[in-house]
Amino acid sequence: MYDRVGAPPASRTDFVLESIKEAILNGTLPPGQALVESELATSLGVSKTPVREALKTLAGSGLVMMSPYKGASVRTVDAAMANSVYDVRMLMEPEALRRAIMLKASFSHARETLTQPRTDLAKLSLANRSFHRALYVGCGNPLMISILDGLRDQAALITVAGWGICPTWDDEAAEHHAILAAAEQGKSDLAAELLRSHIQTFADRVIEELPHGIR
């Protein structure tokens, strides 16, 4: 995170939200780290109010845990959490992609994400989530899109944890290219199966290494 004293009031909460999210996803704020409002406010050069609002938003997206006794902390990734998130993704994402292909949706943004520089975990995570959203956003079902969007932050947290266990982003990039090629060729069933396998392979590898037990 970095200091930005004097941020416009209208954008201050968004700035704080994105700063804390980036710090969580790049490991600066590791899982289990206590999130003290006064410390974050000083670090970011803002009052505690936008910090408090940002933490509430991050709790809603699953990146932060709120306790009436211990306060806020970074969500700890465990097998139970990963199972829940990836179970829904494997059920919905491939079907959403299949529908997007049938509706002849554009996948130009998905291709753009494959050319973005991969310089750190936060940027890798951002490119990864952008790629997956570009696959399902054209499915024609707003509720399906909303549900998958709601999982993106938690999925990103799991992805970064998985890369910490085993850095497999090069293999995943190759899988992304194969999925996108099938989608652009209109091969809906093949693209959906490649996507399902892509999600399943990552989940199987990561969940096995994560601590078991609900937090």
Query: Tens digits of per-residue pLDDT, 159-178?
Result: 877 777 777 778 888 999 99
Whether the per-residue pLDDT at 205 is higher than 90: the answer is: no
* In a shared domain, residues 179 and 85: yes
Domain contains 2: no
Q: Are residue 59 and residue 84 in the same domain, yes or no?
A: no
Residues 171 and 105 in one domain: yes
pLDDT at 6: 46
In a domain? residue 63? yes
What is the rounded average pLDDT of the residues 188-197? 98
- Residue 76 is encoded by which pair of tokens? 């700890």
For 49-88, write each residue's pLDDT tens digit: 999 999 999 998 889 999 888 899 998 888 888 899 999 9
Residues 65 and 105 in one domain: no
Integer Cα distance of 209 and 93 in angstroms: 24
Give the total number of structural domains in the chain: 2
| pLDDT score for 121 | 67
Average pLDDT of the chain, as a whole number: 87
Same domain, yes or no, for 204 and 102? Answer: yes
**97/67 same-domain check:** no
Within a domain: 172: yes
52-55 contacts, C-beta under 8 A, 24 or more apart: 53/13, 53/16, 53/17, 54/13, 54/16, 54/17, 54/20, 55/20
pLDDT of 4 above 50: no
pLDDT at 152 over 70: yes
Percent of the chain with pLDDT over 70: 90
Of the three residues 74, 90, 122, the one that is the final residue of a domain is: 74
Same domain, yes or no, for 113 and 159?
A: yes
Does the reported pTM lie above 0.75? Answer: yes
Domain range for 197: 79-209
| Residues 15 and 99 placed together within one structural domain of the fold | no
Residue 214: pLDDT band with limits 50, 70, 90: very low
Lowest mean pLDDT, pick from 18-27, 28-37, 43-52, 142-151: 18-27
CA distance 36 to 57: 15
